[in-house]
Structure 1
Amino acid sequence: MDERRTVKVSKYLSKHLRHQPERIGLTLDENGWVAVEELLRAAARHGFAFSRAELDHVVAANDKRRFTVDSGVGGGGVEGDRIRANQGHTVAVDLDLPPAEPPAYLYHGTVARVMDAIRAEGLRPMARHHVHLSPDRETATRVGARRGRPLVLTVDAGAMHRAGHVFRVSANGVWLADAVPPQFLRLRG
């Protein structure tokens, strides 16, 4: 599968598994899962057909590991018969991730034009369910660079956790928090 097709299928999956499943007639379950066969049929009905092999390639090759393929409800289904996005949803789902103790520091990539709001309000999830935090500066830099010249914020996750804030970690290693108050942030110097 060529790189352009891989990116195109990945973007299609992100759009319909994170933001607009109803646009192609999908209904995600409460935890964000949908049957792979249902996804493939819906995509084909709506003019963007791709094969199970292409889907498996995108899931395996995506450097951000945005998607998970898993067995059916209760583990009784055929291996790999459900798919979901690992995080970043704007539709109502409960990823059912247990609370986890974070590392001492996490990182968030952003850009200068939003720093005044971040200094005043901290990090908020905006349209998503959670604030996304990276385990390393390099990843945060790549995330921030999608919107311009990146700035990397250091999050004192250890202090937040001790203060009672809950963290969860998605299947692809992205740390999730409901919000990050400004007192737990510092601009990487």
Structure 2
Amino acid sequence: MNSSDISLSKHLSLVLRHRPDSIGVVLDVHGWVPLDDLLAALTAQGSRATRADVLRVVAGSDKQRFEHDPATDMIRARQGHSVPVDLGLTPTTPPDVLFHGTPRRNLTSIRATGLERRRRHHVHLSPDPRTAELVGARRGDFVVLRIEAAAMAADGHVFWRTANDVWLTDRVPPAYLAEDDVPPA
């Protein structure tokens, strides 16, 4: 993506995940907003983003953060919300191991309390170490943690999988964190 697409992607993330009110749009219960409403609100805020720009960002996002439903011409963020939404996901059995990339400075807290969702709806986990590296590297010096997902599921923890292969759970207690961190590739 070019720099203007990256900027638009970040703005869409803010609006569709955290602050729809910042431009005056209202998400439905499942996080969707009509694309025309989004475009009108962006334009009213001084944005020059066009329908083609937004659809290009939706299609070209490296993490597939957004989805567009052509049948209803609505758009939403796939996950990562801090505003109330029901993504309509079905609980799913996770693989044996999942991964989480995080800044190294968070390790002491994570080892003590586990991974917590904080202001978001869920903890985000990756299906492979490389994806977790990409997530962790966004904030400098990082580590990749192994999550014993099958053991968590066996103990009653619920997992969901989004269409862009992000695994979600409510929290990861410290007991399910592998002691050996995955070294960066």
Q: TM-score, normalised to structure 1's length?
A: 0.93
- Residue of structure 2 equivalent to 1:42: 41
Does 2:155 match 1:156? no
Could you tell me how far apart the structure 1 residues matched to 2:91 and 2:61 are?
26
Q: CA deviation at 1:66?
A: 0.2
How do 1:12-161 residues align onto structure 2 when only pairs under 5 Å count?
A: 12-71=11-70, 79=71, 81-161=73-153
Aligned equivalent of 1:170, options 162, 165, 169: 162
Segments ≥4 residues shifted beyond 4 Å: none
Could you tell me how far apart the structure 2 residues matched to 1:21 and 1:49 are?
18
Could you tell me how far apart the structure 1 residues matched to 2:7 and 2:114 are?
34
Query: Is the 1:40–1:49 Cα contact (8 Å) retained in structure 2?
Result: no
Which ranges in structure 1 are unaligned for 5 or more consecutive residues?
A: 72-78
SS of 2:101 mapped into structure 1: strand
Q: CA deviation at 1:119?
A: 0.8
Aligned CA RMSD, in angstroms, stands at 1.1
Which ranges in structure 2 are unaligned for 5 or more consecutive residues?
A: none
Identity over aligned pairs, percent: 50
- Residue of structure 2 equivalent to 1:75: none
Q: TM-score, normalised to structure 2's length?
A: 0.95
